[in-house]
Amino acid sequence: MEIKELVFEPITVLYNTVDDEALRKGRKTVWGDLTPGREGLERAEQDQLPYTFTVFIQSKDGKVIDSLAGRVGRMGGVPVDRFSQLEVRAAVDAFLVGAGTLRADRTIGVPFEKELIERRKREKGNIAPLNVFFSASGDFPEDAAVFRQPDVEVAVFVMERAAARVEQLKRLTPDVTVVSDESPLRDTWRELWRRGVVSVGFEGGPTLLSHALQDRLVHELLLTHSPLILGGTGPGITSIGEPLQGVRTEPLFLGFHEPSRLLFERSRVIYE
Task: Determine the pLDDT at residue 1.
Answer: 39
Task: Determine the pLDDT at residue 106.
Answer: 62
Task: Determine the pLDDT at residue 196.
Answer: 95
Structural domain total, the chain? 1
Classify residue 13: in a domain, yes or no: no
Q: What are phi and psi of 116, to 5 degrees?
A: -75, -35
Task: Determine the pLDDT at residue 112.
Answer: 72
Task: Determine the pLDDT at residue 2.
Answer: 46
Q: How far apart are CA 195 and CA 214, in angstroms?
A: 23
Classify residue 2: in a domain, yes or no: no
Classify residue 185: in a domain, yes or no: yes
- All residues at 6 or more sequence positions from 88 whose CB lies less than 8 Å from its CB, including other chains: 31, 34, 53, 55, 95, 201, 222
Classify residue 19: in a domain, yes or no: no
Task: Determine the pLDDT at residue 23.
Answer: 80
Q: How far apart are CA 7 and CA 167, in angstroms?
A: 42
Classify residue 186: in a domain, yes or no: yes
Classify residue 77: in a domain, yes or no: yes
Q: Which CATH number is 237's domain given?
A: 3.40.430.10
pLDDT tens string, the chain, 272 residues long: the values are 344 566 778 888 899 998 888 787 777 889 988 988 888 899 899 999 999 999 999 999 999 888 888 788 888 888 889 889 989 999 999 999 988 888 877 666 667 778 888 888 888 888 889 999 999 999 998 888 888 888 889 999 999 999 999 999 999 999 999 999 999 999 999 999 999 999 999 988 888 899 999 999 999 999 999 999 999 888 888 887 778 889 999 999 999 999 999 999 999 999 99
Instruction: Show the domain range for 247.
Output: 30-271
Tell me which long-range contacts 139-142 makes (C-beta under 8 A, separation of at least 24).
139/99, 140/99, 140/102, 140/169, 140/172, 141/99, 141/102, 141/103, 141/106, 142/172
CA end-to-end span of the chain: 45
Classify residue 248: in a domain, yes or no: yes
Largest Cα–Cα distance of the chain, in whole Å? 53
Q: How far apart are CA 52 and CA 32, in angstroms?
A: 15
**Residue 21 parent element (H or E):** helix 21-24
pTM of the model: 0.92
Task: Determine the pLDDT at residue 183.
Answer: 94
Exposed, middle or buried: residue 103 (CB in 10 Å: 0-12, 13-18, 19+)? middle
Classify residue 16: in a domain, yes or no: no
